[in-house]
Amino acid sequence: MLDNLSATKVNGGWHKQYSHISTSTHCQMRFAIFLPPGASQTNKVPVLYWLSGLTCTDENFMQKAGALKKAAELGIAIVAPDTSPRGDNVPDQDSYDFGQGAGFYLNATQAPYNTHYNMYDYIVHELPALVEQHFPVTTKKAISGHSMGGHGAMVIALRNPKSYTSVSAFSPITNPINCPWGHKAFSLYLGDDQMKWANYDSCELMKNTSSDDFLPMRVDQGDADSFLIDQLKPENLTAVAKQINFPLTLHMQAGYDHSYYFISSFIDEHLSFHHSHLRS
């Protein structure tokens, strides 16, 4: 059952927030959806799923990215879930990069996190089923995200290439098994077995992707991003893509940082990129 929390008209369409009890995360989850003008049961539209980064909720992208005008023009719905399970009974840590607000879009295997931190199943299976059941959308979908969400978008697309028409990311954590954010999250959520870590690492997944499972990928990265060298490592991803001829396009953007100012500067290009594949 979906509980409608808000509804606001914008750019001729509607931005709405919903909450529901999740069977994946065993707690109440919230997501936002933008429905473009004209979306109806007789005119269903494709969907872009947006995954946000550390400390974010469903609200950051919808309020800061400036994406809704272009999405309205292109006739694309956007769904933005929360970044983790939340609630008094959901285990947490007093840090920004682990726990609530930092679910890393994986299925945790280690107690006490394995009961609730199943964001991979939530994004891949539960949320699309809910959206397709309750809203005027088609089954065609693309996926995108920022930072931790860029990591999640690429991992999910690489593991489910037939489910998405295209994938894009802003400032993604491309190689989490080789960066501090990834080491912390993976060791606590997944334990010490680094074979399990590889299931949530874009570089490792891409290495084992056959040409039959290639899908278009766009990455934008600011060269003034303070996390670029230690955490994001786009050069590792491009090296793997070049090795196997994966269809990745990396745009290094001069002077841009890690913020939503960066995202808002190039979100229209990402929406157009996805539109070209969603409509093909």
Cβ atoms of 219 and 173 within 8 Å: the answer is: no
Can you give the pLDDT at residue 280? 84
Where residue 1 falls among pLDDT bands split at 50, 70, 90?
A: confident
For residue 167, give the nearest of 223, 250, 65, 103 by alpha carbon.
Answer: 250
Residue 151, token pair as written in the block: 């990591």
CA distances from 253 to 26, 219, 220 (A): 40, 10, 7
Average pLDDT over residues 143-152: 98
Q: pLDDT class for 113, splitting at 50, 70, 90?
A: very high
Digit-coded pLDDT (tens) for 5-57: 999 999 999 999 999 999 999 999 999 999 999 999 999 999 999 999 999 99
Tell how far CA 213 is from the center of its chain: 19
How high is the pLDDT of residue 13? 98
pLDDT at position 61, please? Answer: 98
Residue keyed to tokens 């409509």: 279
Q: What gap in Å lies between CA 41 and CA 161, rounded to an integer?
A: 27
Give the residue from 27, 24, 217 showing the smallest Cα distance to 124.
24
Mean pLDDT of 169-186: 98
Task: Write out pLDDT tens, residues 214-259.
Answer: 999 999 999 999 999 999 999 999 999 999 999 999 999 999 999 9
Which amino acids are annotated catalytic? 147, 225, 258
Say what percent of the chain tops pLDDT 90: 99
Which amino acid, one-letter code, is at 172?
P
| Structure token digits, residue 125 | 């299976």
pTM: 0.98
Residue 84 class from Cβ within 10 Å (0-12 exposed, 13-18 middle, 19+ buried)? buried
Averaged pLDDT for residues 79-100: 97
The pLDDT of residue 173: 98
| CA quadruple 167, 35, 140, 210: dihedral, nearest 10 | 10
